[in-house]
Amino acid sequence: MSVAPVSRWQEALIARIEPATPRIASVFLKADIARHIAGQHIDVRLTAPDGYEAQRAYSIASAPGEALTELIIEKLDDGEVSPYFHEVARAGDTIELRGPLGGHFIWRPEDGGPLLLLAGGSGIAPLMAMVRDWARGAVATPLLLVYSARTWEELAFRDELLQLAAARADFRFVAATTRGPSQRASDIERRIDAAALRLLLSQWNAPRHVFVCGSNRFVEGVTIGLPDASLPASIIRTERYGGAD
């Protein structure tokens, strides 16, 4: 399905900013935008007093239809946009945005499953929108989320995901920590490679849809391993960011 882009820039109010991890902030925006589909993103534009503009795309983490649009923004020390949200922005400030945008990396409840979601770092954002949309609907399909971060403390939405896993037998959440110890027997202390994927899928269901989101390095590493885990390329969708904000 092709989703037509919305090109009109409009003002958005920053309702609140909350820490999600030591380096990621959840930014909640109030704006009159169309209802998004889980997996879509918006463009954010900042304009300096001298007229200089900086624009970045951020995936939407909130479920479709929520009153506030949630973004998660990782602070990059050499970035132009992310330091603003961590060091300058306050509730009540305004920014510009346009969207929602994107028609490839999306999932709707009627698309069904089972679903396999693979996230690296702040790449959890669009997948979190999918998890939330799935959780509040009447979709009877299993969902496996494998989320990689350096440490347990750097897993955004960790408590929400743990609560959902405890409440729903059809939801499984696996944390993969690459620079710190695991906290549960079901988690892994390694990168998500072909061997890890084969093991996880042997204990789960054959997915109908696979979504992978994270840095270039993360997405490349995971997608190399997916065919080795007997998953065809036709069911895999990816979204990546290059490391600059």
Write down the domain spans for the chain: 10-101, 109-241
**β strands within the chain, DSSP E:** 10-19, 24-30, 41-47, 53-59, 69-74, 94-101, 115-120, 143-149, 171-177, 209-215, 236-241
Question: Has domain 109-241 been given CATH number 3.40.50.80?
Answer: yes
What is the distance between the alpha carbons of residues 125 and 26, in angstroms, rounded to a whole number?
Answer: 10
- Structure-block tokens of residue 48: 């300096």
Q: Which fold has domain 10-101?
A: Elongation Factor Tu (Ef-tu); domain 3 (2.40.30)
**DSSP structural state of residue 60:** B
109: buried, middle or exposed (CB in 10 Å: 19+, 13-18, 0-12)? middle
**DSSP structural state of residue 231:** -
What pTM does this model have?
A: 0.93
* pLDDT tens-digit profile, the chain (245 residues): 444 444 689 999 999 999 999 999 999 999 999 999 999 999 999 998 888 999 999 999 999 999 999 999 999 888 889 999 999 999 999 999 999 999 999 999 999 999 999 999 999 999 999 999 999 987 779 999 999 999 999 999 999 999 999 999 999 999 999 998 888 989 999 889 888 888 888 888 889 999 999 999 999 999 988 877 778 889 999 999 865 44
Phi, psi of 41 (to 5 degrees): -130, 170
What is the distance between the alpha carbons of residues 150 and 181, in angstroms, rounded to a whole number?
Answer: 9
Q: Minimal CA–CA distance to 117: which of 168, 53, 192, 178?
A: 192
